[in-house]
Amino acid sequence: MERLAGWLGLVGVVLLGTAAWGDEVAPVVAPPKSTADAPANSDAWDWIDVAELTIEGIGWPERSTPFGRLPANARDRLSASAWSAGNAPAGITARFETDANEILVRWSLTPAAAGIPESTARLAGGLDLYVRDGQLGWRWLSGATPSAAAEDQLAALVVGLPEGKSEYMLCLPALRGLRKLELGIPGNAEVTPAPALTGGREYPILLYGGAAFQGAGASRPGSALGPRLRRRMARDVVNIGLFGAGGVDMAAGAMLSEVNAAAIVIDIVGQCDVGTIDEYLGTFVQSLRAARPRMQILLVKGTRPAAAAVLPALDAEWEARRTALVKSYERMQAQGVTDIFLLENPDPTGADGEGSSDGLLPNDLGHARWAECLEGALKPLMVRWEEQRPGR
């Protein structure tokens, strides 16, 4: 991709300014060889509905909103907190190809849900744009942070792009819902959906857990676990991390079993007490196995909070939960449950403690460590799944 050469030196290529729809959008820093400032009248541009591009991270075709993560019929099956968290497009990305030299974006956010984790405005309701580099893979290019004063947002994502076509990935908000999302390009440019990833929507990797899997603790959408793992594995990842939920919920298990996934990662230790894990985890997992006989199931032993190193009571509680999960796993193995695996010591916080900003939720470094850890655990499971795949 010759057009990417020298981009690291283009200081002015990234624009972070936002405004309400209809306001002028001007570059924060004048780009090199810019053809023009972003237009005062955004309606003069061609606007493309992002839902018509290559959308990844969606497990169900019928949803209540275009960018919601849960099936429409889950509203009556799940708790109010799970449904609310699932309306945010955490981990969903849109890939496209364009020869545009400038890209605008306008989007409409839903109000922040009650109990939403403390976060940056970019993570909660903003966007990240990546570009594919033929030699280095995906590189962060730009982003947009919403204005706190309005639900309707308009931003210049990037200006001054070199001539030619490139592939881009737009990472969607992690904590707030989207009513509408559109890309604006000059009239002489075109946008097309990018080719689907390996497995497409038919055989994704499922992530099921709580706030950390949803992306809480990261600084921006693209640095959260779901998009990181998708970029690393070049495979679709459906992220059902649900802040305030994500535990051993039989209704959630039935919902997850509707996705024809190649593998599922289950991280419930932070959302369940010892009794719940001991009594219900086995039934939860075996219901998934009955519905999806070949799906690889990876149980996460649980990440130990950094504060547990100096707080004996907290350490004892978490070790009891982790022990309960291991015992449940061993019982299932003894009962003959197949293709079930244990991720024993995930440590996104790290021995240095630098992977978390609050002692529990992973920060950007922690999410990067999570993605690296899960990639290492999932790659052999994907080989195993391919060997068992029907029709081979």
Rg (CA), the chain: 21
What's the DSSP call for residue 188?
T
Phi, psi of 206 (to 5 degrees): -100, 135
Nearest to 252 by CA among 65, 70, 117: 70
Neighbouring-strand partners of residue 166: 98
d(CA 69, CA 63): 7
Nearest to 17 by CA among 32, 29, 35: 29
d(CA 100, CA 157): 12
Neighbouring-strand partners of residue 341: 298
Tokens representing 326 are: 């291991």
Nearest to 164 by CA among 312, 7, 374: 7
d(CA 356, CA 359): 5
State the CB neighbour count (10 A cutoff) for residue 172: 27
d(CA 68, CA 64): 7
Mean pLDDT by 10 residues, the chain (392 residues): 36 37 34 37 83 95 91 93 94 97 96 78 96 90 86 92 95 96 95 83 91 95 97 94 95 96 96 96 97 97 81 92 97 96 89 83 94 97 88 62
Segments in the chain forming alpha helices (H): 80-86, 121-125, 211-214, 225-233, 250-256, 274-291, 312-334, 364-388
Contact 226, 240 (CB under 8 A): no
Contacts of 161 (CB under 8 A, 6+ apart): 3, 13, 100, 101, 102, 103
Nearest to 116 by CA among 1, 215, 190: 215
d(CA 71, CA 154): 29
DSSP 67-80: T-SSBGGGGGTS-H
State the CB neighbour count (10 A cutoff) for residue 381: 19
Please, what's the b/e burial string for 361-373 (b: 16 or more CB within 10 A of its CB; e: otherwise)?
bbbbbbbbbbbeb
User: pTM of the full predicted structure?
Assistant: 0.88
Neighbouring-strand partners of residue 180: 108
Number of H-type helices and E-type strands within the chain: 8, 16
d(CA 343, CA 305): 16
pLDDT in tens, 34-59: 223 345 566 679 999 999 999 999 99
Q: Which run of H or E residues covers position 144?
A: strand 137-144
Task: List, in order of start, the domains of the chain with CATH numbers.
Answer: 6-193 (2.60.120.260), 205-388 (3.40.50.1110)
d(CA 10, CA 34): 11
Q: What angle do CA 215, 216, 222 make, to 5 degrees?
A: 40
d(CA 158, CA 152): 19
Look at residue 136 in the predicted model and tell me its pLDDT. Answer: 83
pLDDT in tens, 15-26: 334 443 333 333
Nearest to 223 by CA among 88, 365, 105: 365
DSSP 83-115: HHHHTS-TT-EEEEEE--SEEEEEEEEPPPPTT
3-class state of residue 180 by DSSP: strand
Phi, psi of 382 (to 5 degrees): -70, -35
Please, what's the b/e burial string for 174-186 (b: 16 or more CB within 10 A of its CB; e: otherwise)?
bbbbbebbbbbbb
